[in-house]
Structures are given as C-alpha cells and as structure tokens.
Structure 1
Amino acid sequence: MPRSKDNIKRTSIAKTALFSAIKLVNEKKCSLRGATKHFNLRHYEHCLKTGKDASDLHDNLAAKKGFIGNEELLLVDYTQEAGKLQYGLTSKDVKRLAYEFAMKNNKKYPAQWDKDQMAGEYWLRLFRKRHQKQLALCKPEAISIARSTAFNKQNVQLTYENYKKLCPNAHN
C-alpha cells in the first residue's frame, strides 16, 4: 500500500462487520463483491478472499510491524543512550541497528533488508514518526577529545565552588 502523503488515517475496522461478511461469503449467501459493498469493506477484500479469521487483526488493520511494543522501545532507548554518551547515531546507523536486531531475534522483515544489510527508508520514516518525541536523529557533530574529557565531575565541582566564592549569596 502506498504511503499517505496527506497524512490521512484509516478508520478503524468494524470487526463485527468483517465477521458477518466472512460468514455470508463462506455460506455462499452473498458474493464477495456484494459483501464488500454491503458492509463497506472495500479495503478488506483480501480478508474475505482468504476467509482469514478477523480476531487476530489490529483495530485499524495496520501492517504488521517487525518489532512488537517493547522491542521497538529497546531501539529507542539504545539510540538515546548512544546520544548521551556523545556517540550520536545517523539514520543509516539506526537502519543497520534495526536490521541486526531483527535478524538476531528472528523477526520477520522484508527481503530487501537482507540485500541492503539495513532497514529501509520507509521503516525509518515510520519509526521516527512513531517516536518523534523521544528521538532526534540528525547528523552527529564531532566533539574534540579535550572537550569531552574536560567535562567530568571534578571540573564541574571546581567550577561550582568558584561560582560560590564569587557569589556568596548564591543558594545551595
């Protein structure tokens, strides 16, 4: 299915309507076309063709993601930790990480991932959209070793003590 450029969301599926349509088609009381038209299920014709049980479908019949709930959050946490350790990840790094994670955990993923040895652009776009409040994937900037090592507990404490000497009325 092509992505929506207008950011249009699908309406949630009425599972009871899908169950009823599958039942009518299986009992040969209604044609496939008639059932999709009657129950307004034109996007779900594939469910009716296969007679697939609708109980395992998501509410909005979203495409099955490779990672389930907490697994995707592990990727988010890892990217955040890498940023805190001043080792920012590029978009390409995150796609490679996702591929390795899916491969090691025996998750389903598109065959193109094997060819490229990384997740696809479409996966990354949706991943960033789902976690836009937690992630800020941008090109990491280089930081000098001197600057990185100078920011330690002792130097910060010394700076704070000097500040207290200059401003004796400063609050603790």
Structure 2
Amino acid sequence: MAMDNLDIAVWLFPLLGVFDVASTFYIWGKGYSPEQYEVGLFASYFMRMGLIYLYVPIYLLILFLFSYILWRMKRSLDPYSKTDRFIFGLLVFVVCFGYAKLLTVIVSNVLLPRYIEGAVSRQLVELSVFIVCVFQMVWFIRDALTSFYRAEETGEETKT
C-alpha cells in the first residue's frame, strides 16, 4: 500500500507534537513561565502540577493514536458511498485544522518573547500562520482530494 499525501499529512501530527514539546521547553529554558503563556490544551495544567515530564509522553502518545485512527479511517473509506465521501471531507477538515493549530502553537511559542515585548501582535501572527497552513495543507493533499472525489466519475478504484 503506497501512502498518498493525505496519509503523510496525517502522520505529521506526532512529528509536530515533538516540535510543540521542543518549543515549550524552549520558552521554559528562556525563563518564561509555561503555566502563564502555554497555549496547549493540558500543558499548563501539568506544568502547575509539576508533571510536565509525564505530560510529554502522554501528549505524544495521544497524537500518535490520533494519527493512527485517522489513517485507518481514511483507508476504510469507499469513494462510491455518499456517507464516506462526507466523512472524507470531515477528515480533510480535521487534518487541515490540526496541522494549522499545531504549527500556530509552535510559532507562538517561538515568538513569545516578541509578543511580550509588544513588537508583534500575537493575534495577527496566529491568524496569518493559521490561514497559510490551511492553504498549504489543501495544496499538499490536492491529489488525494481529486482522486477520491473523481473515483465515482471515472469508475476506477482509488489507492486508499
């Protein structure tokens, strides 16, 4: 089974999680309090409890399992089924949103000193990065999108 670009995009989540953790430790090493500035879902909670080293493997495991579930779900979809076509659209939305959100968090962590100084607007940077990431991901997976949605028209089976 060959992986298409959507499969690769799904499996980017654990790698982006590693970069997210690295950027969190980067701001922590710079002397900024992650409890105050971390924008992750549970990282600030684990920081306050002093359990950040427990959080890291749990977070990466969750991202790995999330990627695996999305990958298996994508592999099981039938391009001839209307329901599966809708689910495929939701899967693409989740991949684009997750990719954009993770990259936005990484960029926000790296630019945190600039945000605090007031040199850069946090909201403007986050919005810009988010929009660019969504368009970039759609461009990256365009072949998987077109092959899945054209399968019914051409009558050929896709490589999912």
| Fold conserved between structures, TM > 0.5 | no
Q: Considering only CA atoms, is the larger Rg found in Structure 1 or Structure 2? A: 1
Considering fraction of residues, name the structure with more helix.
Answer: 2
Q: Per chain length, whose mean CA-contact separation is higher, i.e. which structure has more relative contact order (CA < 8 Å, sep 6+)? A: 2
TM-score band, normalised by shorter chain: under 0.3
